[in-house]
Amino acid sequence: MSAFTRVLRFSLTCQRARQLPRMLLLAAPLAGYFATHLAEGTPTEGVRAVAETLDALLPALLLAGLALGCSALRGERGEDSLRSVLLSPNSRASIVLGAGLAAMLVAFAVATLASLVAVGTLATQRSFGDIAPDGFFITTAEVVNAQAWKLAPLFLAAIPVAVALGLFASTVIEDGLLAFLAGVVVLFVPLAFAVPEAVPHDSYGLAHHALHVLGELGCGRTEFESLVDRPAYILHQILFQCSLAALAVGASVYCFQRQTRA
């Protein structure tokens, strides 16, 4: 565990020294603020606005996580700092896991900052009270807000998948830009073949579907309440995305061990 902790501290130091994490952290509040202007609906549909704002932020945050994952092992190569880690008595698994966790922590910091600014801005612009659009559906604020607490955080669960995918792509493809583009294809293309009303089998699609359901609840679509009330829906999303991230990290460890074996 000491080797993993040592690599994690080293990777966090490298992340703080790089330009990419700094730029992402500076851009996160602006992205969260401007995303609120993309939300539609009436001033009383605050939860719907939150869902649409997070859905607009999601692709950008996943791209940021993918970029951080791609640079987790290759970002220091220009200064040969990675060589000093490889030459020290650290296992290859500790190096990949430490660098990957450091990139994930930065990605979570960017996503959390952007989402907090977005939700805080919407709280000053929208009402989160009872909803009765057109008189057809009546949903109380307690019900909608309870569903929001369940569904809104699920978009964060897709971020480890993006970081892990970037980490894996960078261990397979030597060129950093090509690794990033390959990760973009794997991350986003499956969504083009997914049906919004059905849970698609890709991480980005799962998070997108949860926000889609939340947006419908936020404008009074009460028929979605039974879906969210089933624990299997939340559990399926979390387990599926965690398994994808674990699989990508495991593949990264295997490829990195083969590449650096003396």
Report, as an integer, the average pLDDT of 170-188. Answer: 87
Q: Which contacts of 9-13 are long-range, i.e. CB under 8 A and separated by 24 or more positions? A: 10/81, 10/85, 10/98, 11/72, 11/98, 11/99, 11/101, 11/102, 11/103, 12/102, 12/105
Is 169 buried (19+), middle (13-18) or exposed (0-12) by CB count in 10 A?
A: buried
Question: What does the pLDDT look like over 230-255, one tens digit per residue?
Answer: 778 888 888 888 898 999 999 988 88
Query: At CA 31, angle to CA 209 and CA 104, rounded to 5?
Result: 70
* Angstrom distances, CA of residue 63 to CA of 66, 67, 163, 182, 184: 5, 6, 9, 12, 7
For the chain, the structural domain boundaries read: 2-260
Q: What is this structure's pTM?
A: 0.85
| Angstrom distance (rounded) from CA 203 to CA 156 | 11
For residue 116, is pLDDT > 70? yes
166 to 26, 36, 50, 103, 142: CA distances (angstroms): 22, 28, 28, 10, 39
- DSSP output for 42-70: -TT-HHHHHHHHHHHHHHHHHHHHHHHHH
Mean pLDDT within 138-146: 73
From the CA atom positions of the chain, what is the Rg in Å? 20
pLDDT in tens, 72-111: 877 544 445 555 555 566 677 888 888 888 999 999 999 9
Distance between CA atoms of residues 134 and 202, nearest Å: 35
**What is the per-residue pLDDT for 199?**
45
The pLDDT assigned to 198 comes to: 43
CA 66 – CA 183 distance, rounded (Å): 7
